[in-house]
Amino acid sequence: MDNNYNYYVIFKPYGVLSQFSRPEPHHKTLADLGFKFPKDVYPVGRLDNDSEGLLILTNDKSLNHQLLNPSFEHRRTYAVQVDGQITDEGINRLENGIAIKVGKTTYQTMPAAATLLTDGIGLAEREPPVRFRKSIPTSWLELTLIEGKNRQVRKMCAKTGFPVLRLVRIRIENLLLDGMQPGDVKKMDGKALKKLLGL
């Protein structure tokens, strides 16, 4: 039964840690979103301080296991703004897998789905804004992975020669950001959430 469980979906803003504890006084955390979460709720997985987008919070430990265990292969989709106009070759390399460093070892990423986005993605501007340089264009792509190594998307894109400027997780399976704005919190019914996540 889900009666004693709480489920929240948030749009984690840039510059906010995926945790409630504050390592240093200047750090922003989930406690700064202005929402009173129950004390036993915690994030499922994490987004880096400089990444944004979908983050699930719950006190349901089974959800944590089902979403984070690599054997379940849950799809996570990111909108990625990169420095430069990414090439077909760059897209192909992302799709076919790239050797990246994970800790001290070299890791070959699994095949991914990568698509160039040509008409923007309708996201709110980031605060602070991404740096703008007239002489160098930027491009957006959609990247879907079924694994989540530390800073994997950033490492993959850097290896193609197109470093990440902005990274937003927009989808986990069939759970979408769906018009949410940075800092938004949405309480969800457990059954509805699990259905969207394919659980």
Residue 143 near residue 114 (C-beta atoms within 8 A): yes
Residues in Cβ contact with 172 at an 8 Å cutoff, skipping those fewer than 6 apart: 54, 56, 67, 74, 75, 76, 77, 197
CA atoms within 13 A on the CB side of 132: 5
Q: Dig out the tokens for 9 from the structure.
A: 């979906």
Match 């470093």 to its residue by tokens: 163
184 vs 199: CA distance, rounded Å: 24
Catalytic residue among 48, 88, 119, 178: 48
Residue 7 near residue 189 (C-beta atoms within 8 A): yes
Query: C-alpha angle 158/161/96, rounded to 5°?
Result: 75
Decide if 83 is catalytic.
no
Burial zone of 36 (CB within 10 Å; 0-12 exposed, 13-18 middle, 19+ buried): exposed
154 vs 79: CA distance, rounded Å: 12
Give bridge partners of residue 6 from the DSSP assignment. none
Residue 108 near residue 93 (C-beta atoms within 8 A): no
Active site residues: 48
